[in-house]
Amino acid sequence: MKKPVVGVIGNAHRVENRFAVQMVGERNLRAVAEVAGALPLMFAAAPGVTDIGALLDVVDGIVLTGARANVHPTRFNAEPHPSHEPYDIARDDVALSVTAACVERGVPLFGICRGLQEMNVAFGGSLHPEIRELPGRMNHRMPRLETGEIHPDHRVIFADRHDVALVPGGAFATLLGCETIRVNSLHGQGILEPGKRVVVEGTAEDGTIEAIRIADAPGFALGVQWHAEYDPQRNPVNRKLFQAFGAALTAYQRQRKG
């Protein structure tokens, strides 16, 4: 049987501040190829380019990646502010529609960082643009030097920084075989209120929502706030997540062909 095909969402970017491009981090592609055992296929987060129905007729699963841009506040009835930019409104349009369509069709869906946030908003949830500003919350953003510059060492940036407590007997605890994991942390925006079908499966020690699933989804529909794509080749937690996603892809592929 042929490898499953996974659609990996792109992000708007400008080369030399002139040329509009769609961009995907290579670690996402390698995680899909090397751990999930599938063929990654980048698709444009641009409504005028990507026909969602046609896309889901071709792929066996979708990955909603992390991204620099925040989900636009108007998507969850909040006011935008310049300090919370940049935004990627075109990606909002595609990602929220893709999320709903995947869950309806049973197409395996894996949301990472911004992808988790998109899943929440797609089902009516809200976000806080800077989760560290809430009382009692820690700084979940990537480490910086004393000068304010982003730390130059990826091993420091993506190091495990805090624990996540998983719901006993939940989908994540069952999949991972434990109730506490340790994860990296590189986000400013986070879930404020979960959407109607969003089930919270894991939280950090400060109460930040770190793992979710979509209730009554006919297929794999999980999201994580941390960057699971960074090291699934060697990190046992992230490896199990991508392997489970890969198994769901194969099952969906067989179901479609059957």
In a domain, 159, yes or no: no
Place of tokens 């595609």: 94
In a domain, 109, yes or no: yes
Q: Is residue 156 part of a domain?
A: no
Is residue 180 a part of any domain in this protein?
Answer: no
The distance of Cα 70 from the centroid of its chain, to the nearest Å, equals 12
Averaged pLDDT, 200-221: 96
Nearest to 258 by CA among 1, 64, 72: 1
Residue 17 inside a domain? The answer is yes
Annotated catalytic residue 201: no
Report the greatest alpha carbon distance in the chain: 58
Band (149; pLDDT cuts 50, 70, 90): low
- Find out whether 132 and 186 touch, Cβ atoms under 8 Å: no
Task: Tell me the percentage of the chain whose pLDDT exceeds 70.
Answer: 91
What pLDDT does 144 receive? 64
Q: What angle do CA 124, 130, 132 make, to 5 degrees?
A: 120
Least confident of 64-73, 175-184, 190-199: 64-73
Write the pLDDT tens digit of every residue in 79-109.
888 878 889 999 999 999 999 999 999 999 9
Q: Is residue 136 part of a domain?
A: no
Sequence-separated (6 or more) residues with CB below 8 Å from residue 56? 7, 62, 98, 101, 102, 105, 107
The domain in which residue 90 lies consists of 5-129+188-257
Domain of residue 53, CATH code: 3.40.50.880
What DSSP character marks residue 258? -
Sign of CA dihedral 49, 52, 58, 64: positive
Q: How confident is the model at residue 142 (pLDDT cuts 50, 70, 90)?
A: low
pTM for the full predicted model:
0.93
How many independent structural domains does the chain possess? 1
Element spanning 217, H or E? none
122 closest CA partner among 101, 104, 100: 100
Confirm whether 84 is a catalytic residue.
no
CB 118 within 8 A of CB 126: no
Q: Does position 156 have pLDDT exceeding 70, yes or no?
A: no
- Residues whose CB is less than 8 angstroms from the CB of residue 180 and which lie 6 or more positions away in sequence, other chains included: 163, 164, 165, 166
Q: Which of 84, 113, 128, 210 is catalytic?
A: 113
- H helices of 139-228, in order, are 154-157, 171-176
Q: Is residue 166 part of a domain?
A: no
Average pLDDT over residues 18-38: 94
Residue 146 bears catalytic tag: no
Does residue 151 lie within any of the structural domains?
no
The owner of tokens 């996402």 is 28
Return the sign of the alpha-carbon dihedral for residues 35, 36, 42, 47: negative
Alpha-carbon gap, residue 134 to 65, rounded angstroms? 25
